[in-house]
Every structure is written in structure tokens, then in C-alpha cells.
Homo-oligomer: A and B are copies of this chain.
Amino acid sequence: MLLVKLGGSVLTDKARLRTPRKSAIARLTKELAGLGDDLIVVHGAGSFGHVLARKYALNGPAVPAKAKGAAVVQRDVRTLDALVVDGLLKAGLAPVVLPPSAVLGLDDGRVASFDVAAFREYVRQGFTPVTFGDVVRDATRGVSVCSGDILMLELAKAFRPRSVVFAADVDGLCTADPKRAKDARLLLSVAAADLSLIDFGPAKGADVTGGIEAKVRRMLEIASFADETIMVNGNVKNRVRDALRGRIVIGTRVVGGH
């Protein structure tokens, strides 16, 4: 089993509402064909989800009429998802969409239920399940944001994949934000013990899914359920494909605590 996360920053222009990066979507979906192993695809919501999720405060406590904002975000995210599905179909795969809003329930931001049977059954029938960052029901908050990374963790736990690949818009994890710090350098590997060495920058830059540090902590947890976990640059042609094939590529290996 291979598990890949296509980051919202690769699939979309994160600064501009509902703006897909169509050529990246076409290329990346093509890279996922012909891998010769079962595959599950998770993708971020990028500018199809984050902008309005923040506007409607969908990660906050329950407020009346939050349903309408959530419905708009869900609709937008599905527009992006349809582009990914079209790419996968064109590449010759048989994608089946399992939206988190349908198969996952949260309680105060934590996973309360997750229907892994649907994923398992479709994989067995030769499909490539596709899921994504979404707004889902939350027993305490009404609705809440479920990031693609939460799904990665649940799927890694359930399938114990041979390889997990995170496709980002940078070469990997750096000692600091390379856009701010000139001396930032790429970490070839990261383990829990390395977290204190990384300058994650100000927390207020965090997106609706919790910011970089939370992402790295979750990646470490995910890595503990997989043989190999790596974060690579999805903007570089064939890097995701090569990583999934087990080749040595530029990126940050994530070493989970076994």
C-alpha cells in the first residue's frame, strides 16, 4: 500500500480564492499511475477551502447558521476534488471519492468515527480511493475543519503503508522558513528529537489546519505506522513518482518513533 498526500499549496494558488494550478494537477495525477501497488490519494483543500473556512470561523465553537458557510466550503473543495479525479481518470486509474464529510466524524476536533471499511473494500476492487481536507460534522462544535493530514494519520494506522509521501511546495522541511531566513537549510531527515532545533516562526501565521509545527508532529506520528515516510517537492517533475517507487530523492525523510 502506498499513501500520498498532494498538498493544497501544490494543487492550488493558496493566495487566490478557488484558483487551481491545473498543470500541476495534470502532472501529479499522471505520476500516480502505473506504480504497481495499491494507492490511496489524499489532497489538501488549498485556496478552495482555507480562505472561506477562516472567514466563516468553521474551526471555532458552534454558532447558528454555521451550516451554510460549511456547505459553501464543502462545495468549493469538491470543485478542486473533481479536477484531481479527472486527472486520475485520464491517467488510467479508477478513482473513487470518499469525502471525509461522509466517512468521518469529529468530536471537538478529534476523530470520533472513521469508516475505513469503505477504503479497504474499494482498494480490494481495484479502485484508488481519493479523500481530502474538508469541513465535517463535529459532535461538540457542530462542524469543524478536518485536514488532509488527519486523514493521512487514520489511513496510515489502518493500512500500515509501505510508503507515505507528502508532496509540498518546498524541497522538504528546513531548519527555518527559507522565505524568511537566509541560512535555513534542508533537513534530510527529521525525528521527534529534532523538533527543538527547528525555528517554526510565529504561530499567528498558522492556517486553519494548525500550522507547520502541528503538521510536522502529525507527520512523525504517521511515520510510525509506515515503512518509509518522506516529504518532497511536488513542483519538481517526477519527484513524487520516484519517491513512491522507493528511489532516493531530495526531500526530508520523516523518522517515526517505533
Residues of A within 8 A of B (CB): 64-68, 70-72, 74-75, 78-79, 82, 85-86, 89, 92-99, 101-103, 105, 113, 115, 117-118, 121-122, 125-127, 137, 139, 142-143
- Copies of this chain, complex-wide, total 2
6 contacts between A and B (CB under 8 A): A71-B94, A71-B95, A78-B85, A102-B103, A103-B103, A125-B143
B-side contacts of A97, CB under 8 Å = 74, 78, 99, 101-102
Q: A72-B89, A75-B82 are in contact. Are A102 and B99 (CB under 8 A)?
A: yes
- Name A68's contact: one of B85, B94, B121 (CB within 8 Å): B94
A67-B127, A97-B99 known; 12 new pairs, CB 8 Å cut-off, are A70-B94, A71-B85, A71-B127, A78-B78, A78-B85, A78-B97, A96-B101, A98-B101, A99-B102, A102-B115, A103-B115, A105-B121
In whole angstroms, what is the CA distance A126 to B68 when docked?
A: 9
* 4 A-B pairs with least C-beta separation: A67-B94, A102-B102, A71-B94, A67-B126
How far does the alpha carbon of A98 sit from the alpha carbon of B101 in the complex, in Å? 7
A134–B144 alpha-carbon span in the complex (Å)? 27
Q: A74-B96, A94-B71, A102-B98 known; A137 and B121 CB under 8 Å? A: yes
Residues in B whose Cβ lies below 8 Å from that of A139: 121
CB distance from A18 to the nearest CB of B (A): 14
Is A105 within 8 A of B89, CB to CB? no
Cα distance A64–B94 in the bound complex, in angstroms: 12
A142 CB contact (under 8 Å) in B78, B118, B125:
B125
Within the assembled complex, what's the spacing in Å between the Cα atoms of A75 and B83? Answer: 10
A101 partner residues in chain B, CB cutoff 8 A: 96-98, 118
